[in-house]
Structure 1
Amino acid sequence: MSQSQYPCANCGANVEFAPGTTVLKCPYCGAETPLVAVAGRQIREHSYAEFAGLPRKPIATLAPHTFTCQGCGAVTQSDKISDRCQFCGAPLVADVSSGDQVMPEGVLPFAIDRKALREALRQWASSRWFAPNGLKKVTEAESSHSTYLPHWTYDARTVSHYRGQRGDHYWVTETYTEDGQTRTRQVQKTRWRSASGVVARDFDDVLIAGTGRVAPKHLDKLEPWPLPQAEVYRPEYLAGHETLRYDVEPETGLGTAKSRMAPIIEGDCRSDIGGDEQRVEAVETQYSDVTFKLMLLPVWIACYLHAGKTYNILVNGRTAEVAGERPYSAAKIAAAITAAVLLIIVIVVLIALNRN
C-alpha cells in the first residue's frame, strides 16, 4: 500500500512533526522543514444521509496497513494510520485516501512537547493526595508516547415535540395541635396541569470518541478541545506520532451523539413548560441536516506500574489537561487516619480541661 516518509534534506534521516511548531524536525541533525499551507483546502462537513447510502466495508473487516520502511527495508503490519518501524524506529504514515475507510478531515496538531508533558505530569502527581511516592515516575519521558485519537463530530438541526406537565406552587394554611395548643403553618402545594409544545435547537460539533481503546471516563475529562484551531488533515502532522484507526463506526457514533443531545433537548422542554416544576413524559425528536466529520485529536499516554498493576494517564496534547488512574498509598491513608484520631482526642481533652 502507499505510505509516506519524510527524509531530512540535510542528513537523509526521517523527520518528525515537532509539537508546538509548524515544522518537521530531524531528531538527529536538528534541521527543520517548514510546513507550507495548502491554499484552498478547508475542513469540510459531510452529509450523513449521503454517506449512509454509499457501499462500504465495516472497519473491522479491513486488512491492517502494510508498511515498508524506506530506511531499513523492514516490512511491518499495523492497524494504525501512523506508527514507527519496529526495527529502526523511523516514522511511518499510511495513505488513507483509498476510500476503504472514512478519511480524516481535520487534525489538531500537538502543541505540548515532552518538556511541557513532564511539567504537566509533575504538577498532576504532586497534587494527588494519598498517592505513593513512586508516582513521580510518570514524569519520565520514556513512559509516555504521543498518539492521535480519532473522534467523530456531528452537527444536526432538531425539532422536538414534547408532552408533559407543568407544576405551579401555591401555599395553604394548615391547622395543627402541638403541646395542647392549636397552631397554624404555611404548607407548599403544587398544582399540576398538562403541557405540550415544540422546541428546536441546532447542535454543532457534538464530539464522540472514535475508538474504544481508551477509557471514555478519562478521555471525557480532557475536554474541552479547541476544535476551531484544527488544521486541514495532512499526513505530515502524523510523522513521528502514533495514530489509531477508528473502530467506532459513524452509525454507532451518531447514536451516541443523539444520546448526548437528549438531556439538552429535555432541558429545553422543561424551560418551555415553565412553572416551578416540570414533568417531561414524552419527547419525539426529528433530526435534519445531519453532518459529520472525522477528527484526529492529540493525546499523550503515560503508563505507570505500581504493585504489579499498570495505570494509564492521559494528557491533552493541546491544553495539558491531565486525567487518568492513580494508585493509593495504604501507609499514607493509615497515617492520615491516625493523625485525625489523635487530633480528635486532643480536641476532646482540651474541651474537658476547659470545662473543669
Structure 2
Amino acid sequence: MTENPAAERSQTAQTYPCDGCGARVEFVPGTALLRCPYCGHEQQVSSIDRDVREHPYEELAELRVKERAPLAAHVLVCQKCGATSDSEALSGRCQFCGSPLIADPAAGHQIVPEAVLPFAVDRNGVRTALRGWVKSRWFAPSSLKKVSEAESLKGTYLPHWTYDAHTETDYTGQRGEHYWVTVTDTVTVNGQTQTRTRQERKTRWHHASGRVQREFDDLLVPGTGRVDGGMLERLSPWPLKEAVAFQPEYLAGYDALRYDVEPDAGLETAKASTEPVIRSDCRADIGGDEQRVDSVHTTFSNITFKLMLLPVWLVCYLHAGRTYQVTINARTGEVIGQRPYSPMKIAVAILAALLVVALVVFWFVRSR
C-alpha cells in the first residue's frame, strides 16, 4: 500500500509561524492563504501533487497501523462532556458545553484524514448568518439578539467517514395490477327501490422476484457522537466534490474534533442508510400499479472509505442558566441551533389571537 504523504508530514505536530513576525498564522476561509492575525502577512498554503482517493476497506487494518499521526500540537479533552479535539492551543473552552479544556498527554494517534473541505465562511459571515437566524426565530426572548455578537465562535472541523460500495440485492415480493369491475347497488329513494351501477377498482396480485444493482457514492457518516446527529443532518447538503487532499495547514487557527466512531461502526450505519433506496429500486423493478416487497438480501462489494473533515462554526451561549448550541455550516452558511422561548411573547401572541377571534365574533353577531 502506498504511504499517504499527509501522514508523513504529520508524524510530528506542526505549527505555522509567520514569515514576517514569527507569530502563528491562521487559514483564511475561502482562500488558499495563511494570514498572520498580528502583522497581516499572508503566505500560500503549500501545494501538493496528490488527489483525494478512496481506500479499499480491506486495507483498513494496515491503514490503522501506518497512518496514525497527530494533527496538531496538543490533544485537549473536556472533563465535563468528554469531547476530544486536536488543537495548537494548550488550553481553551469546550466547543460543546463551554467547560475548560485540558491537555491529554496520553491520547493516542488517529488515522489521518484523506480529505478536507476547507472553511469558506469567515467570522463576519457567521455573524451575518446568525443575525438572520435570530430575526427569524419567533417567540424568542429579546436577549437572544446578543448571540449574533457573541465572541464564543469556535471554528472546528468535524470528522466524517464516507463510503462507496456496489450492491446487488435479491428480492421477493408481489406485483399488483389494477382492474375494474361493475358493481350494482340497491338503494331506496323516497320509498322506492332503485338500482345503480358503479365502477369499483380491485387489485390482482402476482408473485415477483428479481435482482437489482446500485452504485453508492460518498455515503456520509458522522465520525463523532459529540454533535447531535439530527443537527448535522440538517446542515446538509455538503459540497463534498469540492473537498481537497488533506494538508495540516488547513487546520491552522482551528480545532479538529477527534473521531470516536470507528470506521467499522460507520460502515454499518452507512449500510443501514442504503435500505430505503434499495427497497425503492426493488419496487421500481417489480413494476405494475402497486408493489409489495417481502424480503431483500443485499450483498456489498468493492467497498471503499475515507476520513474527511467538514468545517463548522460552533456557538455556545448561556441563557437563564442553560447552555444552548448553534452550529453553522462553514461552507454554505446554513444555521441550525437550539433556542429558548419567551413565555411572555407566547402569552401575548395567544391573547392577541383570542382578541382577534373575539372581534370577529362580535362583528358577526352585530352584523346580524
Are residue 333 (structure 1) and residue 342 (structure 2) matched?
no
Count of residue pairs the alignment pairs up: 332
Q: Quote the RMSD (CA, aligned, Å).
A: 2.3
Which residue identity lines up with residue 81 of structure 1 in the other structure? D
**Cα distance, 1:123 vs structure 2:** 0.4
Are residue 315 (structure 1) and residue 325 (structure 2) matched?
no
Given candidates 217, 222, 227, the residue that maps to 1:214 is 227
Which residue identity lines up with residue 160 of structure 1 in the other structure? T
Which residue identity lines up with residue 9 of structure 1 in the other structure? D
Query: Which residue in 2 is equivalent to 1:86?
Result: 91
SS at match of 2:110: coil
Query: Which residue in 2 is equivalent to 1:15?
Result: 25
CA deviations 1:214-267 (Å, max 9, x no partner) are 000001111111111111101010011010111100011010101111110110
**Cα distance, 1:77 vs structure 2:** 5.2
Contact 2:155 2:255 in 1 (8 A): yes
SS at match of 1:142: coil
Given candidates 28, 36, 49, the residue that maps to 1:26 is 36
Given candidates 181, 184, 189, the residue that maps to 2:202 is 189
CA deviations 1:33-77 (Å, max 9, x no partner) are 111321x211110000232x54958xxxx9999947xxxxxxx75
Are residue 268 (structure 1) and residue 275 (structure 2) matched?
no
Query: Which residue in 2 is equivalent to 1:132?
Result: 141
Structure 2 vs 1, CA of residues 65 and 113 (structure 1 numbering), >3 Å: closer, same or farther?
closer
Contact 2:70 2:110 in 1 (8 A): no
Query: Which residue in 2 is equivalent to 1:160?
Result: 169
Contact 1:64 1:77 in 2 (8 A): no
How far apart are the structure 2 equivalents of 1:107 and 1:138? 28
How far apart are the structure 1 equivalents of 2:270 and 2:42? 41
CA deviations 1:143-163 (Å, max 9, x no partner) are 221000000010001111111
Query: Which residue in 2 is equivalent to 1:121?
Result: 130
SS at match of 2:127: helix
How far apart are the structure 2 equivalents of 1:164 and 1:282? 7
How far apart are the structure 2 equivalents of 1:104 and 1:64? 11
How far apart are the structure 1 equivalents of 2:188 and 2:362? 39
Q: TM-score, normalised by structure 2?
A: 0.85
**Cα distance, 1:127 vs structure 2:** 0.6
Equivalent positions of 1:63-82 (< 5 A) are: 67=73, 78=77, 79-82=84-87
How far apart are the structure 1 equivalents of 2:70 and 2:62? 22
Are residue 176 (structure 1) and residue 189 (structure 2) matched?
no
Are residue 239 (structure 1) and residue 249 (structure 2) matched?
no
How far apart are the structure 1 equivalents of 2:183 and 2:129? 60
Are residue 104 (structure 1) and residue 113 (structure 2) matched?
yes
Comparing 153-162 with 301-310, greater Cα deviation is found at 301-310
Contact 1:56 1:100 in 2 (8 A): no
How far apart are the structure 1 equivalents of 2:19 and 2:150? 28
Structure 2 vs 1, CA of residues 34 and 54 (structure 1 numbering), >3 Å: closer, same or farther?
closer
Are residue 150 (structure 1) and residue 139 (structure 2) matched?
no
What's the % identity of the aligned pairs? 56
How far apart are the structure 2 equivalents of 1:132 and 1:178? 62
Gap regions ≥5 residues in structure 2: 1-10, 78-83, 93-107
Which residue identity lines up with residue 54 of structure 2 in the other structure? E
**Cα distance, 1:103 vs structure 2:** 1.4
How far apart are the structure 1 equivalents of 2:125 and 2:71? 32
Structure 2 vs 1, CA of residues 237 and 64 (structure 1 numbering), >3 Å: closer, same or farther?
closer
How far apart are the structure 1 equivalents of 2:334 and 2:355? 37
Structure 2 vs 1, CA of residues 289 and 236 (structure 1 numbering), >3 Å: closer, same or farther?
same
Gap regions ≥5 residues in structure 1: 69-75, 88-98
How far apart are the structure 2 equivalents of 1:197 and 1:26? 61
Are residue 229 (structure 1) and residue 239 (structure 2) matched?
no
CA deviations 1:105-145 (Å, max 9, x no partner) are 11111010000000001101101111111111221241221
Contact 1:108 1:229 in 2 (8 A): yes
Comparing 175-184 with 141-150, greater Cα deviation is found at 175-184
Which residue identity lines up with residue 12 of structure 2 in the other structure? S
Structure 2 vs 1, CA of residues 16 and 335 (structure 1 numbering), >3 Å: closer, same or farther?
same
Structure 2 vs 1, CA of residues 66 and 146 (structure 1 numbering), >3 Å: closer, same or farther?
closer
